[in-house]
Amino acid sequence: MVMVLHKKITRTLLEHKAQYIGSILLIIISSLLFTALNISGVNIQDNLAVFRVNNVVEDASFITQNKIDNVAELEEKFQLILEERKQYDYKFDEQATLRILSETKKVDKYAVVKGHLLQKSREILIDQAFAKAHDLDINDELMLENNLFTIVGFMSTPDYIYPLKSVSDMLKNPETFGVAVIAKNDFSKFQNGLTFYSVKFLDSNKSQFKNYLTRNNIIINWLDKEDNNRITFVDGDVNSAIQMGRILPVAILILTILLVSIILWRLLKTEYTEIGTLYTLGYRKKEILNHYLSYPLIISLVGGIIGTIIGLLLVKPMIELFAAFYNLPVITTKFELTYVVLSLFLPLAFLIPSTIFIINRILKKPPLELMRGGGNKVKINFIERRLHLNRFRFSTKFKIREIVRNIPRTILMVAGIAFATMLLLVGFATKDSMDYLIEKNYKDIYQYNYDYIFNTMQFSDDIGGEKLNLAPYTSQEFKNGEKTFVIYGIEKDASLITFTDQNGNKLSLDQTIITKSLADKMKLKVGDRISVENKLNEKKFSITINKIADSYLADVIYMPLDEFNKLNDLPKGSFVEVISKEWLNIDESILLSYTSKEDIINSYNILIKPLRYMIGVIGFTAFIIGLIVIYVVTSLVIEENKKNISLLKILGYQQRELYSLILNSNTILVIIGFLISIPLLFVSLEQYFNAITAEMNFSFPVKLDEINMVIGFVVIILTYQISKFLNKGKINKISMVDTLKSKAE
Amino acid sequence: MFLELTNVNKTYKTGDVSFKALANINFSLEKGNIGVILGPSGSGKSTLLNVIGGIDITDNGAIFVDGKDITELNDRELTNYRREEVGFIFQFYNLIPNLTVYENVEVAANISKNPMKVEEVLDAVGLLDLKDRFPKELSGGQQQRVSIARAIIKKPKLLLCDEPTGALDYNNAIEILKLLTDINKKYNTTILIITHNTAISGIANRIVRLRSGEIIENKYNDNILPAERVEW
Ligand SMILES: Nc1ncnc2c1ncn2[C@@H]1O[C@H](COP(=O)(O)OP(=O)(O)OP(=O)(O)O)[C@@H](O)[C@H]1O
Ligand SMILES: [Mg+2]
């Protein structure tokens, strides 16, 4: 008997195929994103973890005034692994620098991605992105300062996962920077190489070790792993992919619940009499429930399975893309059964309970009431009853009633549009926010073109440019414990860095200024006093915040140079950084790093390129989701109005008038959905950006250009028009004669 | 003649089976007259009314309404014909449940070139007090009056009623018939009423009887009764 009932399912599915296909598509998108993002994200995380353990990622690297001769002794004494390293920045061409590193044996051990390990002299391994950007391949020869090297492979190292020239950079650019490794002995071929040390602590002896160095040597530069963008950036990105892989699918599933519930509700209502009849025939409630549950079951399973399969197919290319973007070796890829099971199970977990609830509510009714077709009786809800619409035009009244009549449908429409718009605009907003960050900082705040950082403290007055001193500090007064940031000493009359406050007023440099991003993270106000500790020499002092600068690019504090030097017990006039509008002729051997603004802008433009595809892909997904929701809602409106449409045709409504009356009733909902999506987008993106930049040394203000809002609006309206167009046929198909036969409501 | 049908045929096809619903129908009605079509269930009454009203199509034959053959009209013209010249009244009222009484009448006024005032029509059918109610809050007779108001607001030349009293008790039915005859007198509207209730033919100028899609009787009524004297 039950089998007979199931024949009906196929017929119903086919009869309303658009609605069910729409629901299935939404679930496919949801499962696909869940599987692809989570599995590749977790794989990357695992790979990273394995890579970091196997290849011994450093805890810190530092530069000292004098060479350390007693490495073995220190390793024993402080329970650490210490490796002396060398680096030399080779000018590859006009604009590109290839940083040559000495081969590592103990810390930050390099991994070969392709090719083989260094075996003999004059062999070199380089990073793949740089190779690609400069048409280099394995077995190619490379002339470095009159020495011929052979490329024997591509490598990655745990301290250059994200190859940045300077640790405070944010943007990598393989066109202008890459790293390479050569044997230690080959390094003697280069003069002026920089010597530095990488350390891995086996015990928590960091401060003892630093103490020892401060007493017996001088630490010129100390960089903890946590403050090293080359090491940490990748974590934020993987996390944000995994976050997306959780938020998006769930949001889409919630939308699907609404959609499927409304479709089922509608189906059940038209089948009241049949349900009543089945009851009187002796069917049990459970059997009827099972019958109706087949719909969400089919939808979730078909959508879940297809989505998971497509998602799984995307895992490998995504991991490879990610590994190539970050210089990462792919060590293992795992199938992550948990996520596959979850991806199949989630749609069921969301849809089945909500549909059981809906079906039960109807099956609870007494058979007699069902038989009488109680469900087809129109209920006038309290809002409709209270509406006083007499002053409106007829078509306006009709549309208002249409919206008020079916509240769940209206909510679905608004929520669907809002969600699609948010998704559509999220890419634009990300790009606009980044643009803002770059524009604002490099045009308005930092007006220098060249930035030189020295590898030792400088005192000379004839280098030129404007002098800065800086050191990394920590403060304990942060919500999750410690916060690291840089404090700069800047000359009072410096002109190449201009800060303004929130209102655009210029701030003078004879006071202590904190950037907005750091102030927000540490919840600091003007007048607050914080105590800080110098990470190089553990010197402690307190400072009072005088002004907050409208800048997000870095978590930093600026104070007058003289005061900085005094607080740090440094000679008056000492500095380690110089900024300048013109290029300065400084001997490279005394430089730790050198950047030009042009490089930064170029890097940014290259980095932003893949974002365009991302915006495209996300935008397209948004378009599809919007189309599904609007299409299904519109088709529901038509179905619910079938009798009315037939009647309106009899009364002499022309096609155009019918379209406008029935199809346009949702226009206002589309506009409302769009309008609420904008503030919603700002709030949620702000949360999201804050979460991913909390541990980074800059923050992201959310910006969205008006033009992109307009584009978003146009796309949404276009989606709306397309789904209206697709539904016109449905209206035309409704017959005038058929409906006259059935008894009306 | 205001309404004239000549050799009208209509066949329904379902799959391979075809069924002749109207066979060679010829009859006419003068302007301002009331016609009644009688016949048992399934005899083709509704089909006939629907083709006259332009909501269903014929196989062949001509249907002249006020000098115009509506079987020659295209979709658009047919829609305009329904919008301006015909009013429909159905057995089950066919009101739009989510619109108030007032708005249900407005549905027709909204697209008509020169409609009467909604208040005036509602007053004429005696429903002005109930104009903000929804259909389900009305009795059957009241609902039928709304549908009459909706049909006459555009001042149609032809009023087509399919079992207008079929779902009503005797008293309500008489009220509706009275309303229809009043409209007929007041606006000189030609009215065609379908019923299987022979008694109703008392109010008609012309009586046509159908069986199995054919006309078996077509006669003048010499003894017209006022609606309130009709009995069954
Ligand atoms: N769409 C259709 N397809 C096939 N046959 C139809 C269709 N509509 C009506 N018929 C048939 O045409 C015949 C006439 O139907 P019609 O509705 O005109 O009868 P009626 O005289 O109005 O009956 P009643 O008094 O029951 O309303 C009937 O036998 C019916 O079965
Ligand atoms: Mg009939």
Among B14, B45, B51, which is best to mutate for testing ligand 1, by the most ligand atoms less than 8 A from CB? Answer: B45
Which residues of chain B lie closer than 8 angstroms to A385, CB-CB? 134
A735 C-alpha to center of ligand 2: Å?
16
B162 C-alpha to center of ligand 1: Å?
13
- Compute the distance between CA of residue A474 and CA of residue A227 in angstroms, rounded to an integer: 11
SS3 A454: strand
Beta bridge partner(s), residue A197: A62, A84
Ligand 1 pocket member B47 (CB < 6 A): yes
| Residues of chain B contacting A, Cβ within 8 Å | 46, 50, 53, 55-56, 76, 79-84, 86, 88, 90, 92-99, 102-103, 106-111, 134-136, 150, 162
What single DSSP character describes residue A111? E
The model's pLDDT over A14-26, given as tens digits with 9 standing for 90+, comes to 888 888 999 999 9
Which residues of chain B lie closer than 8 angstroms to A637, CB-CB? none
- Compute the distance between CA of residue B35 and CA of residue B217 in angstroms, rounded to an integer: 13
Which residues of chain B lie closer than 8 angstroms to A654, CB-CB? 76, 79-80, 83, 111
Q: Provide the percentage of residues in chain A whose pLDDT is more than 90.
A: 38
Length of chain A counted residue by residue: 745
Q: Which residue of A has its CA nearest to B106?
A: A394
What single DSSP character describes residue A448? -
Cβ A642 vs Cβ A739: under 8 Å: yes
Amino acid A479: pLDDT: 64
B47 C-alpha to center of ligand 2: Å?
7
The model's pLDDT over A662-694, given as tens digits with 9 standing for 90+, comes to 998 889 999 999 999 999 999 988 888 887 777
Nearest CA owner, ligand 1 atom 28: B42
Contacts of A76 (CB under 8 A, 6+ apart): none
Pairing state between β B206-211 and B34-38: parallel
Task: Characterize A236-274 residue by residue with b for buried, 16 or more Cβ atoms within 10 angstroms of its Cβ, and e for exposed.
Answer: bbbebbbebbeebbebbbebbbbbbbbbbbbbbeebbeb
**Among A346, A152, A182, which residue's Cα sits nearest to residue A248?**
A346
- Compute the distance between CA of residue A568 and CA of residue A473 in angstroms, rounded to an integer: 11
Mean pLDDT, residues A215-232 taken together: 86
- Compute the distance between CA of residue A471 and CA of residue A564 in angstroms, rounded to an integer: 10
Amino acid A745: pLDDT: 43
Going by pLDDT thresholds of 50, 70 and 90, the confidence category of residue A4 is: low
* pLDDT > 60? residue A1: no
* pLDDT > 70? residue A165: yes
Residue A555 Rama label (left phi>0; alpha psi -120 to 50; beta): beta
> Rounded to the nearest 5 degrees, what angle is found at the Cα of A134, between the Cα atoms of A129 and A137?
75
SS3 A469: strand
- Compute the distance between CA of residue A456 and CA of residue A230 in angstroms, rounded to an integer: 22
* pLDDT > 90? residue A168: no
Which residues of chain B lie closer than 8 angstroms to A642, CB-CB? none
Amino acid A2: pLDDT: 53
Which residues of chain A lie closer than 8 angstroms to B58, CB-CB? none
Q: Which residue of A has its CA nearest to B50?
A: A737
Q: What is the mean pLDDT of chain A?
A: 87
CATH architecture assigned to B3-229: 3-Layer(aba) Sandwich (3.40)
Ligand 1 pocket member B20 (CB < 6 A): no
Going by pLDDT thresholds of 50, 70 and 90, the confidence category of residue A743 is: low
**Among A592, A604, A614, A696, which residue's Cα sits nearest to residue A173?**
A604
The 3-class secondary structure across A474-542, one letter per residue, is EEEEECCEEEEEEEEEECCCCCCECCECCCCCECCCCCCEEEHHHHHHHCCCCCCEEEEEECCCCCEEE
**A·B CB contacts under 8 A:** 83
Amino acid A601: pLDDT: 79
Q: Which residue of A has its CA nearest to B100?
A: A385
Mean pLDDT, residues A544-567 taken together: 90
- Compute the distance between CA of residue A40 and CA of residue B208 in angstroms, rounded to an integer: 80
Tell me, what amino acid is at A530? I
The model's pLDDT over A713-736, given as tens digits with 9 standing for 90+, comes to 999 999 999 999 999 999 999 988
Annotated domain spans of chain A: 1-57+218-377, 66-205, 394-442+597-745, 450-582
**Among A349, A374, A366, which residue's Cα sits nearest to residue A268?**
A374
Going by pLDDT thresholds of 50, 70 and 90, the confidence category of residue A145 is: confident
The 3-class secondary structure across A158-227, one letter per residue, is HHHCCCCCCCCCCCCCCCCEEEEEECCHHHHHCCCCEEEEEEEECCCCHHHHHHHHHHHCCEEEEEEHHH
Amino acid B128: pLDDT: 93
The two structure tokens encoding residue A702: 């959310």
Rounded-to-5 percentages of helix, strand, coil across chain B: 35, 30, 35
Locate the ligand 1 atom nearest the alpha carbon of residue B213 and give its number. Answer: 14
Going by pLDDT thresholds of 50, 70 and 90, the confidence category of residue A554 is: confident
Among A377, A402, A652, beta carbon nearest to B82:
A652
SS3 A243: helix
SS3 B12: strand
The model's pLDDT over A308-324, given as tens digits with 9 standing for 90+, comes to 999 999 999 989 888 88
- Compute the distance between CA of residue A672 and CA of residue A287 in angstroms, rounded to an integer: 42
Annotated domain spans of chain B: 3-229
* pLDDT > 70? residue A274: yes
Task: Supply φ then ψ for residue A467, to 5 degrees.
Answer: -90, 145
Mean pLDDT, residues A64-93 taken together: 92
Which residues of chain B lie closer than 8 angstroms to A651, CB-CB? 82-83, 88, 107-108, 111, 150
Amino acid A744: pLDDT: 45
Residue A400 exposed, middle or buried by CB count within 10 Å (0-12, 13-18, 19+): middle
Amino acid A480: pLDDT: 63
Mean pLDDT, residues A365-378 taken together: 69
Of A494-508, A569-583, A594-608, B84-98, the one with minimum mean pLDDT is A594-608
Mean pLDDT, residues A539-558 taken together: 89
Helix axes of A706-733 and A667-693: crossing angle, nearest 10 degrees:
140
**Residue numbers in chain B where pLDDT is lower than 50:** none
- Compute the distance between CA of residue A556 and CA of residue A488 in angstroms, rounded to an integer: 7
Q: Output A169-173 pairs: Cβ under 8 A, ≥24 positions apart.
A: A169/A229, A169/A595, A169/A600, A169/A603, A170/A229, A170/A233, A170/A553, A170/A698, A171/A600, A171/A603, A171/A604, A171/A606, A171/A607, A172/A129, A172/A603, A172/A607, A173/A599, A173/A602, A173/A603, A173/A606, A173/A607
Among B14, B18, B46, which is best to mutate for testing ligand 1, by the most ligand atoms less than 8 A from CB? Answer: B46
Q: How many CB atoms lie within 10 A of CB A405?
A: 21
How far off is chain A from B149, nearest CA to CA, in Å?
Answer: 13
Going by pLDDT thresholds of 50, 70 and 90, the confidence category of residue A459 is: confident
- Compute the distance between CA of residue A42 and CA of residue A65 in angstroms, rounded to an integer: 42
Rounded-to-5 percentages of helix, strand, coil across chain A: 55, 20, 25
Task: Supply φ then ψ for residue A587, to 5 degrees.
Answer: -60, 125
**Among A216, A251, A209, which residue's Cα sits nearest to residue A77?**
A209
- Compute the distance between CA of residue B207 and CA of residue A352 in angstroms, rounded to an integer: 61
ipTM: 0.86
* pLDDT > 50? residue A82: yes
- Compute the distance between CA of residue A339 and CA of residue A36 in angstroms, rounded to an integer: 10
**Among B45, B65, B51, which residue's Cα sits nearest to residue B158?**
B65
Amino acid A347: pLDDT: 94
* pLDDT > 50? residue A430: yes
Residue A580 exposed, middle or buried by CB count within 10 Å (0-12, 13-18, 19+): middle
Ligand 1 pocket member B171 (CB < 6 A): no
Ligand 1 pocket member B25 (CB < 6 A): no
Ligand 1 pocket member B14 (CB < 6 A): yes
